[in-house]
Structure 1
Amino acid sequence: MTPAARTTPVSLYPELDATALGAFVTALECGDVTGLAPARAAEAARMRGVAVFTRGKVTGAEGKLLDAALWRHTGAGPRPAVVMPAPWSGLGWLAYAVQATLFAARGYDVLAYSARGFAGSEGQADMAGPLDVADGRRALDHLLARAAGPVTRIGFLGTSYGSGIAQLVAAHDTRVDAVVALSTWGDLGEVLYENSTRRTAAVRALLGTAAKARLSPQTRSVLAAVLAGEDLRGTERWAEVRSPFTHIKELNRRRLPVYFAHAWHETLFPPNQTLRMFDELTGPKRLALSVGDHAGPEAPGLLGLPNRIWTDAHRWFDHHLKGEDDGIGSEGQVLAEVMWSTALEPRPTWAAMTGQVRRLYLADGGELTDAPRAGWTSTVLCGLDTPATVADTVVASGYAELAGRPRTYPLDALDRTVTAVWSAGPAAETVRLRGTPRLRVTYRAADPCSGFVAYLLDTAPDGTARLITHAPFTAPASPPDSLISADIDLHATAYDLPATHRLTLVITAEDPFYAPQNHPRSTLSLTSPEPTPSYVDIPLG
C-alpha cells in the first residue's frame, strides 16, 4: 500500500448519507415521513409537535450569506438555545440534522449553519480565523432575533471543525454560557507540527476532504507551506489566533463549562494538545476519551443511533443551560474507555488517571530493564519505510478499531536495520497503562535536521503486536554529528496489557504519516549516556 493510499480518506464522515439526511429534513418541513426508518419518523413527528423547522441564510461577516437551518419553538415562554457550527465537510449543517432535532424536541431553540466556504455558504474558509468567529456571533444574533420568547442561556456545540469554532466564539462572546466540543483541538499549531514534526498526512486529509470547499488563499498557502516544510514561524503565528488555548484566560475568567470528547488514536488532532487545553480549564469541565479515531466515537449519534457521547452532550447542556440536576456535574471530570475491553473508567481529574509511574530503561540486547545500562549503540538506517506505522488510513483506520479490529504488526517482520526494538519481559499480570507515557532517548545524527517516530506496542506471545501509542520527534536545527536528547510525551492512553504480553518500544526514522525528517541512507545512532540514560516512563493506573 502506498503512502498516498494510506493517508487520503474519501470523507471524514463516511457513514453519513446526504440523501437520507435530506429525506429527514424534508420530513421536518412538511411531515412526509415516506421512506424514513420508524425511529427517524418518530423524531420528526415529535419535533413538529413542539417547534417549527425552516431553512434560511445567516448574514455573516463581510455580508457573506451562510447556509443555515433553524429549529424554533413558537411559544412565548423562555427557553435555552444552541448554535451548531458545522464540521469540515461538504454536508455543512445537514450533518447535524438529527441531533439538532433531538435538542429541539427537548426544549431548545437551535440554529445550525455551514461554515463559510463550505456547502451552500458564501465566502472562503478561514480555518477558524477571525471571520469564522464573527460568523458564529452573527449566527447567534440571527437566532436571538427570531426567538418567539426570551432566550435564557446559550450553548455552542460543534464536532471537528465546528468544535474549534465553538470554543473560539465562546472565548470572544460573553453571551455563550456553555460549550460542547467533540473531536476538537486546543492548539492548531500542534495539529500541524507535533514536536516540530510536520503532520503531512493530516494536512493532506484536510485538503482532500475540502476539495469542493472554497479555502481562502491564506489557508491554502499555510497548508501548502506545511507540506513543503516552509515558513514555520508564519504558520505558528497563523495558528495561534485560531487556537482556543490562546484564549483560555477568557474562558477561565468566566469559568465557562466545557465538555470535550476525543479518541485515543486520533490522527487529525493529536490528543495531547486537547488534554493540555482541558487541564488548563478552571471552570466545570468533562472529558470523554474513547477507542477509535477522529469523529468516529460520536458518529453513530449523528445518525440518530444511541451514543453515550451525544447523550452526555445533551446532559451537559441540560445541566448548565436548563439547570437540571441530572448528575453529570458530580460524575468526575474524566470518563475513559479502555482499549480493548471498552470498559468505562470515571476519574475525578485527568491527573487521577495515573497512580504511579514505572521507568523502563533502554538497554543493549533489545531489552527494557529496571536499571540503566550505558555504553550501547543501536543504529537505524533512514529513508526506508517499515511495517510500523501510525495508521493505514487517516480517520478510516479508527473505524476498524471501533469494530474491535485493531491493526496487528508482525514484530518479527520489522527489519532491524531500519528499526530499533526493545521489549520488556512477559507481564505476570494485567498491566493497566493509564495516562501519558514519556520517552527520553539520546541519539547521534550526521545531518543538521533529524528525527524519528516512536511506537509503544503490546506484543503477544505469538509475536503479533498492537499499537498502544506513539509520538514523532524532530530536531530541526542541530550541529552535524552532535548528540541530541529527545524528551517527549507519547500520546496519552488507557490500555490493558494482558498477562504474558510484553511492552515493546520501536523507533524508526520514517513513517508515511509524517514528513521525512532525515536524509535518505543517513543513520541515527541511538544510545544511552551514563549521565542521561534513555528510558520510557509507563504510567500505571
Structure 2
Amino acid sequence: MGQHRRALRTTAAGAVSASLIAGGVLGLAPAAHAAGNGVRYVDIAGDGGTVLKANVVTPAGADGTRRYPLVVLPTSWGFPQVEYLAQAQRLADAGYVVLSYNVRGFWQSGGEIDVAGPHDVADASKVVDWALAHTPADARHIGMAGVSYGAGISLLAAAHDPRVRAVASLSGWGDLIDSIYSGSTQHLQAAAVLDTAGTATGRESAESRAVLSAFRSGDLTKEKDLIAWGKKRSPATYADRLNRSGTAVLLAGAWGDSIFPPLQSAAFYEQLTGPKRLEFRPGDHATAEITGLFGLPNDVWTDTERWFDHYLKGEDNGVDREAPVRLKSRTGGGYEGYPDWKSVSATRGKIALAGAATVHTNVDSGADGGTVFLSGILDQFAKLPPVAAIPLLPRRWAAVWQSPKYATVQRVRGAATLHTTVTPTEESGTLVAYLYDVGPLGLGKLVDHAPYTFHGRTPGKAFGLDLEMLSTAYDVPAGHRLALVVDTVDPLYMEHNPSGARLTFSSPASDPSYVSVPLREQ
C-alpha cells in the first residue's frame, strides 16, 4: 500500500506540474494584449480584511456616464489571477465590466485555502461590493463564472448572494462528496492532485489540512466530519436558494472529468427549477475550456458569453429556446439536444449476468479507469480511452460477462447501472465495475465505470448491490459487444480489501443480476 500511494503521489505531482506550467503560460499569453486595453491590477479587501489580488477590465471608452453588466471570475485551484485575461478582454469588448480575482490562500492573495467554504463565499460578495463601488458596473446585472474551483465558488456565491443573476460553472461540481467519494470510495488520484497543487501554490488552512489528511488515510472514524464538511461546500445543498432567486445556471463539464465526474453535476441540474442549461463534451477536467483561456475559439466560452448576453444584457439570441441539455459523444458527431437529463436515458437495454463468479482481491486485474488528466485527454483528442484485452483478463481477479454481438450501433447515453448480488468473505471490501466496448479481436475500450466500497457486512451473507456508473456518451459500433468487468483494485481509488478476501457475484433466480445500459433511440 505504501508503494502504491507513493506512485499516486508521483502521478499527481506530474499532472500538477503540467497544470502549473500551463497556468504560467496562460498568464503570459493574454496579458500583453489586455495590458493596453483598460486592465487594472488592484487589491480588494475580502472577508475579514484578507487581501485578494485582482484585475479589472472595462469596456473601451467607459467614462463613468453609463453602467455595464458585471462578470466576476474567481480563479481555478492553483492558478494565478491572470488566468482569465483573454476571456476577460473578449467580454469587455462585448460590453462587460470583468473582474477576476485570485481566491484566498493561493499565490499572492492572503489568507488560507478554505476549499470553497464560508470565507470564499463571503469573499465573492466583497468582490462584488468593490466592483460596484469602483467600476461602472450595473448592480442589476451581475454574473459569475469560473473553471473548476472558480466554478464551484461561483455557484456557492450565487446561492448566498441574490445579486448574482447568472452563473456559468465550467468543469465545476454540484456535490463535492459525490465527486471525490462516490460509492463511499476515496478518489485517491484526484485528491492527490488537488493536495499537491494546493501545497505547491497556496497555504492550506488547519481545517482543510485535517480533513484532506483523514480522507487520504482512509480514516473511517472521520467519515461523518468529511460528509458535513463537503455538504457545506456543495452547491446542491443550496439549490433551493438558487431556485428562489431564479438564478440562471449554466453547467458545462466533460465526460471523462477525473476530478468532478459528470453524474453528480447532472443530479444537481435536475434539482434546479430556474433557467438552466447542461452541457457535456469529450475530455477530462477543464480540458474542454483550456483553449479558450488562450483566447482561441472555444465552444464552452462561446456558450458562456451567449448565456450572459441573454440573462444579463437581455439579448434575444435564442439560448433560452434551445434544448437545455446538450451532449457530444466521445466517439464523434455533433451536439445532441434533450429536453431534460431524464430524457437522455429514457430507453435502456439489459445485459444478463448469468451464473456466479468469485474474484480474489488485492491484485489489479488489468482493467482500470485510467489516469487522472492523461486518460481523458487521450480520449478527447485521439479517441484513445483506457483499454483492456478482455479475453486475457485473469478470471481469478476479474469477473467478466459479455453481451452478444450487436447488429446495429448502440448509442450509450447516460449512466449504466449494475444490479447484482455480492457475498463477501470479509466485513469490508472495494470493487470497481467497468463497461467496455469489445471489438472483434477482444480489445476492450472503456465506456464507463464506477467504484463501490462497503463496511460492516456479515462475512458469508449475501447483499444486493445497485451501482450507478459515472455517465458517458459513447457509440458502440455494429459487430461489437459490451462487456461488464468487475475487479477490486484500481489506481484511481483507495481499496478497502482485507488481505486474502474474496467476493462472489451471483444471480439468484428470484433476483437476477444484470447491467442496465442507457441507449439513445436509433
Which of the five TM-score ranges fits, normalised by the shorter chain? over 0.9
Residue 38 of structure 1 corresponds to: none
2:331 to 327, 334, 340: 340
* CA 421–13 in structure 1, closer or farther in 2 if over 3 Å, else same: same
| SS of residue paired to 1:421 | strand
Equivalent residue for 2:377, pick from 393, 399, 403: 399
Q: Does 1:254 align with 2:260?
A: no
Match of 1:216 in 2: 205
Letter in 2 for 1:472: P
SS in 2 for 1:315: helix
User: Is 1:308 aligned to 2:299, yes or no?
Assistant: yes
Tell me how far apart the structure 2 counterparts of residues 335 and 3 of structure 1 sit (CA, whole Å): 34
Q: Give the AA of the match of 1:220.
A: R
Contact 1:16 1:95 (C-alpha < 8 Å) held by counterparts: no
SS at structure 2 position matched to 1:211: helix
SS at match of 1:249: helix
SS at match of 1:387: coil
2:155 to 149, 167, 182: 167
Give a deviation string over 1:148-200, Cα, whole Å, max 9, x none: 36444000101100111000000000100000001111111112311111111
The answer to whether residue 206 in structure 2 is matched with residue 206 in structure 1 is no
Provide, for residues 120-153 of structure 1, a one-character-per-residue CA deviation record: whole Å limited to 9, x for no partner: 1000000000000000110111111112364440
- The question of whether the paired residues in 2 share the 8 Å contact of 1:196 and 1:476 is answered with no
CA contact (8 A) 2:414 2:473 kept: yes
Check 1:202–1:17 CA distance in 2 against 1; reply closer, same or farther (3 A cut). Answer: closer
Measured in 2, the distance between the counterparts of 1:480 and 1:417 equals 20
- Alignment pair present for 1:68 and 2:54: yes
8 Å Cα contact 2:26/2:293 also seen in 1: no
- Give structure 2 stretches of 5+ with no counterpart: none
**1:63-212 aligned within 5 A:** 63-73=49-59, 74-75=62-63, 76-89=65-78, 91-148=79-136, 150-212=138-200
State the secondary structure of the residue aligned to 2:432.
strand
Match of 1:474 among 437, 445, 453: 453
How many residue pairs match? The answer is 507
Alpha-carbon spacing, 1:468–1:20, altered in 2? closer, same or farther (3 Å): closer
Q: Does 1:13 align with 2:19?
A: yes
Matching residue's letter, 1:237: A
> Compared with structure 1, are the counterparts of its residues 501 and 19 closer, same or farther at alpha carbon in structure 2 (3 Å cutoff)?
closer
My pick for the range that moved more, 68-77 or 505-514, is 68-77
| Superposition pairs of residues 311-390 of structure 1, within 5 angstroms | 311-364=302-355, 377-390=356-369
Tell me the residue number matched to 1:485: 464
Structure 1 pair 17–65 and aligned structure 2 pair: CA distance change class (3 A): closer
Q: How far apart, in 1, do the equivalents of 2:41 and 2:314 lie?
A: 30
**Residue 32 of structure 2 is aligned to residue 58 of structure 1:** no
Q: 1:531 to 1:19 in 2, by over 3 A?
A: closer
Partners of 2:158 and 2:109 lie apart in 1 by 22
Deviation at 1:7, TM superposition (A): 4.7
Mapped to 2, the partners of 1:225 and 1:236 lie a distance apart of 12
TM-score scaled by length of structure 1: 0.91
Label 1:3 to 1:17 Cα distance change in 2 as closer, same or farther (>3 A).
closer
In the alignment, is the contact (CA less than 8 A) between 1:78 and 1:152 conserved in 2? no
Q: Aligned AA for 1:271?
A: P
2-side partners of 1:447 and 1:398: how far apart?
34
Q: Which ranges of structure 1 fall in alignment gaps of 5 or more residues?
A: 32-47, 365-376
3-state SS in 2 of match to 1:93: coil
- Structure 1 residue runs of 4 or more that deviate by more than 6 Å after TM superposition: none
Of 153-162 and 343-352, the range deviating more from structure 2: 343-352
Partners of 2:89 and 2:199 lie apart in 1 by 29
Give the Cα separation in 1 of the matches to 2:336 and 2:74. Answer: 30
Question: 1:13 offset after TM fit, Å?
Answer: 3.4
Is the partner of 2:336 in helix, strand or coil? strand
Alignment RMSD: 1.6
